[in-house]
Structure 1
């Protein structure tokens, strides 16, 4: 082989490697996955602008790319809401539906499922409407889940962190609004629920206590707990309640809020205890 042939062979190998690498960057591993290129783009996109990206054969709309990445990883890739149902048409209640990633997962897992999704934040609710418009048997409620029917003070941030606020916190909230709320206990009293998902940014303690008489209606419950280290007794009370209602539970850290708990003690500002609690019944 002369020098020219060697040069051509070397160039062909380089080009082949570049093409292969390019295919890897743009390749998706499955319908729920983002390619490496898409992930890089999302990590550097500014928040606020309405955009869409293909997921599971449809366009999924979002405004905050980092929240989209987080939801995709947790809900679609890790499948934290995965559960087995003894019916092809499970009844699922999604409390804190946000932009609709959970509903997308539920309807792709159980196409005949009946889903009630609750999302009080106006910005999030508009995304939810767009993202689940093609699904049947999905009922959307622009209401906060709470302990009574009526209205409640709400801090609407248009993010995953929108939440009910009361007392002194309500007086200082930057984007405070009055919104409709609905009592979850009244809903649970009416029918059996195959999966109850609760991710309501700190309201779970009050809501679960109020729902205690009707938790026997729930087969599986996902609870994202948001709390503070100085309120550890509330977490203990919730876990005892869950056991008393016949559930076993598995706890996984949702966010590492205190990297050094012995020295940090407690986080300033947001919740310093965030846990994913999986509640289910053994055969």
Structure 2
């Protein structure tokens, strides 16, 4: 009670500065919050030291959303007995996921893919301080080929199965058969390829015997059939248990989903966590 009385005598601002000086964890959390606020609305390329060294992203929103998902929510956290696990990261973007894996397992051997030329250039800069990382400026696909690729600049760049020459955001990118990289044992396999996951999972299904844990971002497009059940059935047949999260839950599914379909955007977005016991 006495402590409460004393506390009430000091303004919140004074208590805040006291905590900043007294408690390192409080100061660290405050500095993190302020940096994310600084970056949030920056629409140009940014550099932040929040990860402990200069890290670049195409804009502030990409950095903040990635940081929240990867470092604050720990979406990719996993445990293994191996000191040097093998990790494949399909859809590496600017490399925040790769650096998270390196923080988790410094000796990890990581293979990453990012087809967007500009984003790939930032990715290469961001990983220069680390070893045992191979990154490819290629899309992952069902064969070695050239694909049409829609440049969105944030998270939503994706393979286009329609070659629309009138769309200035569509470019040609090299693609590699993902099966080539699944001949080895893989401890963690991340697939975040903005709608191409269905084609990939069907193609690599027999190779999933070599995968211990898998993370899949599932997206369905309003103009195409939903195929979540196909993906889950493949995981089950390959010996996976799974958990599913909806990163952005709809408050009124019967209303919001129809709106999304009319706007022709992703109408469903799930995170699938597959693991073997």
| TM-score (normalizing by structure 2) | 0.87
- Residues in 2 aligned to 1:84 and 1:35: alpha-carbon distance in whole angstroms: 26
1:58 Cα deviation from its structure 2 partner:
1.4
Long gaps (5+) in structure 1? 1-11
Are the equivalent residues in 2 in contact too, given 1:122–1:158 (CA < 8 A)?
Answer: no
Change (3 A) 1:105 1:34: farther
Q: Which is further off, 114-123 or 54-63?
A: 54-63
- Residues in 1 aligned to 2:223 and 2:235: alpha-carbon distance in whole angstroms: 21
- Residues in 2 aligned to 1:135 and 1:173: alpha-carbon distance in whole angstroms: 37
Alignment of 1:179-218 (within 5 A): 179-188=173-182, 190-218=183-211
- Residues in 1 aligned to 2:222 and 2:232: alpha-carbon distance in whole angstroms: 15
- Residues in 2 aligned to 1:174 and 1:116: alpha-carbon distance in whole angstroms: 30
Q: Which residue of 1 aligns with 2:17?
A: 19
Change (3 A) 1:13 1:84: closer
Change (3 A) 1:176 1:229: closer
Are the equivalent residues in 1 in contact too, given 2:220–2:226 (CA < 8 A)?
Answer: no
1:269 Cα deviation from its structure 2 partner:
2.6
Structure with greater Cα Rg: 1
- Residues in 1 aligned to 2:272 and 2:107: alpha-carbon distance in whole angstroms: 26
Q: Which residue of 1 aligns with 2:90?
A: 95
Alignment of 1:142-221 (within 5 A): 142-167=137-162, 170-171=164-165, 173-188=167-182, 190-221=183-214
Change (3 A) 1:83 1:172: farther
- Residues in 1 aligned to 2:137 and 2:28: alpha-carbon distance in whole angstroms: 34
> Is 2:77 the partner of 1:82?
yes
Question: Deviations for 1:183-241, whole angstroms, at most 9, x for unmatched residues?
Answer: 112221x2110010000000000011000111101000000011136756511111111
- Residues in 2 aligned to 1:15 and 1:124: alpha-carbon distance in whole angstroms: 41
- Residues in 1 aligned to 2:186 and 2:69: alpha-carbon distance in whole angstroms: 23
RMSD (CA atoms): 2.6
Q: Which is further off, 215-224 or 171-180?
A: 171-180
